[in-house]
Amino acid sequence: MFAAARYSLGGVKRLWGETAFRHEVLAFALITVLFYFSGVPLWGYVGATLLFLLTVSIEALNTAVEEITDHASPDYSDMARHAKDLGSFAVFCLLLANAIWAMFVLWSHWIPLAA
């Protein structure tokens, strides 16, 4: 268990070196603050937190794909470019899901949906 925690901490340290990850953490913090000042209910925070954790995990996998691809194919190759593009697209999809969730939560809080 301690070894696994140590490996995970190493992963977080490596991921912190990625600008995109730091931007995602900042965006989550801003959404949390916006939710707080908007008086969003708990379910909004739970959804945002789950989506953030999913985004972070996909960002970590994307970074791993990039690391392995750069190691296995140091020269330009279409397969390497495709692998990186697909990882980037997966992260983009989750960022879009985060934005849609935040807008939905804020919209439904400000304009309650009819029951």
Listed in sequence order, the residues at least 6 apart from 51 whose beta carbon sits closer than 8 Å to its beta carbon are 94, 97, 98, 101
- Does residue 18 contact residue 35 with C-beta atoms inside 8 Å? no
* Distance in Å from the first CA to the final CA of the chain: 47
Catalytic residue among 24, 59, 66, 67: 59
- State yes or no: is 66 an active-site residue: no
Task: State how far the Cα of 112 lies from the Cα of 115, in Å rounded to an integer.
Answer: 9
Q: CA-CA distance, 25 to 40, in Å (whole number)?
A: 20
Please identify every residue annotated as catalytic: 59
